[in-house]
C-alpha cells in the first residue's frame, strides 16, 4: 500500500495567514488520518520578496498551532541544480525550447492582443526556430500540446476539462536562469513522492499546466484537492479590513492554538452539526469528502466564542503558564505556581482571551489607582466607613484567612447591623478591585491575602471619611 504523503508549501513573502494555516491543517490532518507523512517545503525562489523573517514567522506559526512536520523544511533555493537538470531533460527531449523574445516584444504582443480583443498568449515565435541566435539571452518554454485536453479529477470539485489549445507555452526557466513556480512545484512533488496535493482553489488553473509537465517527464500524477477560498463577512476575499489575518497575531491577541485549529478546520469542513473537536477527534474524523465546494465565511465572533470555550475548559495551571507573557507585557512580575493558578481559576469563566484575562487580573497585582465613580456614589456612604472599620478589626483577628471563614465574618457583621450582604460586600469589592464586577469576593480575598486586603480596605475607609467630612 502506498504511503500517503502531503505537503504544505508556503512562499516566505509575509506572515503565515489564516488561509495558509487552514491549508497546512488540512494537509496535516489528511496525513495523520491515513498514517502518512506531512512535509514542509519553503518555496523561496522569488529572491526579491522572500525573507528569512517570513520563513521564521511561518515556522513559528505552524509550531504554535501544533502542526509538526515529519520532513523538511526543504528550501527551493537550495535545489536549483535539480531544477536545471530537469529543464535540460525537457530541452533534450524536444519538449521545451529556448525563447529569445525580449520583455519589450512580449509586452507589445500582449497589448496588441488586448486591443484586438484576443486572449493575451505567446504566439510561438521561437517554438520551431531553425537557427538559434548566439549569445542572446533566452528563457525556456515548455512545448504545450496544441491539441487534445487535460482531464483534472479533483477530490473536492469533481471532474474539470481544460483544452490544451487554451493554454500558453509556459516559461519554465527565466532568462536569469531561475526556474518558475509551476515547474519547481512539479519537480519537487515528484522527487518528494507527494501523493496528494491539497491546496487553495486559487491554484486550480495551475493544475492542467502541471499535469502536462508530469506527463512530459513520464512521472505519476498525484491526486489533487482544491479547497474553497476563505471570504470576509462581505463575501470578498479575506483581508486585513476583516480583522487580523496573521496566525501569530491571534497568539498576540490571547487566543489559544487549539481554538484557532478548531475554528480553521470548520472553515470548509464539517462533521454533522458538531462544532467542537479535540485534535484526536479531528484526526479520527477528517476526510476530504466532507470538505465543501462553497467559499467559507470568516466569522471573528465565532472564533471568539470557541476561544472562550477552550479557556473555560483548560487546566488552570496550564493556562497560568500561557498567561505570564501577557501579565509581563502589562509590567507585572508573575511566575508559575499555586498562587497564579488560583488567580486563573477565578477568571476563566469571565475571560474570552488571555489579553482579557490579564486585564481582569490587574487588581491581583496592584491596588486600584481609582474607584469607579458610579460605584463610589452608590456604595461609599458615610455609614459604610464605620461598618468597614469594624470589618477590619474582625479580619485582623481572623485565622485561617480562607473563603469559608471570611464568609462567616461577613454574615456575622450584616446580621448584627441588620444589613444586606451586598451593602458590605460591594464596598469591599470596590476597595479591593476598583469596581463592582469581579470574581467571587471571598475567593479574591483569600488569594490577595490578609495583609493586602486590610491595606486596601483601610485606604477605602480613609477615602470615604475624606469624602464625607
The rounded distance, in Å, linking the Cα atoms of 122 and 395 is: 88
Bridge partners (DSSP) of residue 246 are 17
Q: Give the orientation angle of helix 421-433 with respect to helix 441-448, to 10 degrees.
A: 40
209 neighbors 150 (Cβ within 8 angstroms): no
Give CATH 1.10.1160.10 domain extents, the chain: 247-313
User: What mean pLDDT value characterizes the chain?
Assistant: 95
The rounded distance, in Å, linking the Cα atoms of 193 and 187 is: 10
pLDDT of res. 1: 66
Give CATH 1.10.8 domain extents, the chain: 315-366
- CA of 209: how far to CAs of 150, 181, 371, in Å? 9, 11, 68
Considering only CA atoms, give the Rg of the chain: 32
Side-chain-facing half-sphere of 159: CA atoms under 13 Å: 4
Any idea which architecture 5-74+181-231 has in CATH? 3-Layer(aba) Sandwich (3.40)
The rounded distance, in Å, linking the Cα atoms of 28 and 24 is: 6
The rounded distance, in Å, linking the Cα atoms of 424 and 216 is: 84
CATH class of 315-366: mainly alpha
Which positions are annotated as active-site residues?
240
Q: What is the mean pLDDT of each run of 10 residues along the chain (469 residues)?
A: 93 94 98 98 90 96 98 96 98 97 91 86 91 92 96 96 94 95 97 97 96 97 97 86 86 98 97 95 97 95 98 98 98 95 98 98 96 95 95 97 97 96 97 96 98 98 88
Q: What is the dihedral of CA 211, 213, 218, 223, to 10 degrees?
A: -30
Instruction: Read off the pTM.
Output: 0.93
Give CATH 3.40.50.620 domain extents, the chain: 5-74+181-231
Residues shown for the chain? 469
Any idea which architecture 367-468 has in CATH? Orthogonal Bundle (1.10)
Asked: is 247-313 a CATH 1.10.1160.10 domain? The reply is: yes
SS3 assignment for the chain: CCCCEEEECCCCCCCCEHHHHHHHHHHHHHHHHCCCEEEEEECCCCCCCCCHHHHHHHHHHHHHHCCCCCEEEEEHHHCHHHHHHHHHHHHHCCCEEEECCCHHHHHHHHHHHHHCCCCCCCCCCCCCCCCCCCCCCCEEEECCCCCCEEEEEECCCEEEEEEHHHCCCCEEECCCCCECHHHHHHHHHHHCCCCEEEEEHHHHHHHHHHHHHHHHHCCCCCEEEEECCEECCCCCECCHHHCCCEHHHHHHCCCCHHHHHHHHHCCCECCCCCCCCCHHHHHHHCCHHHECCCCEECCHHHHHHHHHHHHHHCCHHHHHHHHHHHHHHCCCCCCCCHHHHHHHHHHHHHCCCHHHHHHHCHHHHCCCCCCCHHHHHHHCCHHHHHHHHHHHHHHHHCCCCCHHHHHHHHHHHHHHHCCCHHHHHHHHHHHHHCCCCCCCHHHHHHHHCHHHHHHHHHHHHHHHHHHCC
Any idea which architecture 81-173 has in CATH? Alpha-Beta Complex (3.90)
Amino acid at each position: 500500500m502506498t504511503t500517503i504523503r502531503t505537503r504544505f508549501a508556503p512562499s516566505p513573502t509575509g506572515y503565515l495567514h489564516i488561509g495558509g494555516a487552514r491549508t497546512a491543517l488540512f494537509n496535516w490532518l489528511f496525513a495523520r488520518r491515513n498514517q502518512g507523512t506531512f512535509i514542509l517545503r519553503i518555496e523561496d525562489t522569488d529572491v526579491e520578496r522572500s525573507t528569512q523573517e517570513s520563513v521564521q514567522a511561518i515556522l513559528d506559526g505552524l509550531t504554535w498551532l501544533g502542526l509538526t512536520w515529519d520532513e523538511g523544511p526543504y528550501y527551493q533555493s537550495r535545489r536549483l541544480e535539480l531544477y536545471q537538470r530537469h529543464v535540460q531533460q525537457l530541452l533534450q527531449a524536444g519538449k521545451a525550447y529556448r525563447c529569445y523574445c525580449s520583455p519589450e516584444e512580449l509586452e507589445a504582443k500582449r497589448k496588441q492582443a488586448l486591443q484586438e480583443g484576443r486572449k493575451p498568449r505567446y504566439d510561438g515565435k521561437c517554438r520551431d526556430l531553425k537557427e538559434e541566435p548566439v549569445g542572446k539571452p533566452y528563457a525556456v518554454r515548455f512545448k504545450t500540446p496544441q491539441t487534445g485536453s487535460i482531464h483534472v479529477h479533483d477530490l473536492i470539485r469533481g471532474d474539470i476539462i481544460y483544452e490544451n489549445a487554451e493554454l500558453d507555452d509556459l516559461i519554465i526557466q527565466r532568462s536569469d536562469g531561475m526556474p518558475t513556480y509551476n515547474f519547481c512545484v512539479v519537480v519537487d512533488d515528484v522527487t518528494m513522492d507527494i501523493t496528494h496535493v491539497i491546496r487553495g482553489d486559487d491554484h486550480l488553473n495551475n493544475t492542467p499546466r502541471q499535469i502536462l509537465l508530469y506527463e512530459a517527464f513520464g512521472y505519476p500524477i498525484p491526486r489533487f484537492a482544491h479547497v474553497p477560498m476563505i471570504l470576509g463577512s462581505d463575501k470578498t476575499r479575506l483581508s486585513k479590513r476583516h480583522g487580523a489575518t496573521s496566525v501569530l497575531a491571534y497568539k498576540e491577541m490571547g487566543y489559544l492554538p487549539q481554538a484557532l485549529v478548531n475554528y480553521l478546520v470548520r472553515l470548509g469542513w464539517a462533521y454533522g452539526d458538531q462544532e467542537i473537536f479535540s485534535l484526536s477527534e479531528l484526526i479520527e474524523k477528517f476526510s476530504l469528502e466532507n470538505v465543501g465546494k462553497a467559499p467559507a465565511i470568516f466569522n471573528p465572533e465565532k472564533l471568539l466564542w470557541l476561544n472562550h470555550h477552550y479557556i473555560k475548559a483548560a487546566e488552570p495551571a496550564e493556562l497560568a503558564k500561557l498567561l505570564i507573557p501577557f501579565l509581563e507585557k502589562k509590567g507585572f512580575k508573575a511566575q508559575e505556581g499555586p498562587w497564579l493558578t488560583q488567580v486563573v481559576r477565578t477568571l476563566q469563566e469571565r475571560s474570552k482571551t488571555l489579553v482579557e484575562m490579564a486585564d481582569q487580573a490587574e487588581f491581583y497585582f496592584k491596588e486600584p489607582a481609582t474607584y469607579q465613580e458610579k460605584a463610589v456614589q452608590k456604595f461609599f456612604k458615610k455609614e459604610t466607613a464605620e461598618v468597614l472599620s469594624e470589618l477590619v478589626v474582625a479580619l485582623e483577628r481572623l485565622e485561617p484567612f480562607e473563603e469559608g471563614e471570611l464568609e462567616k465574618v461577613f454574615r456575622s457583621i450584616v446580621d448584627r447591623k441588620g444589613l444586606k450582604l451586598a451593602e458590605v460586600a460591594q464596598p469591599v469589592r470596590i476597595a479591593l478591585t476598583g469596581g463592582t464586577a469581579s470574581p467571587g469576593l471571598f475567593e479574591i480575598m483569600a488569594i490577595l491575602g490578609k495583609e493586602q486586603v486590610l491595606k486596601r480596605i483601610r485606604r477605602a475607609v480613609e477615602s470615604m471619611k475624606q469624602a464625607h467630612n
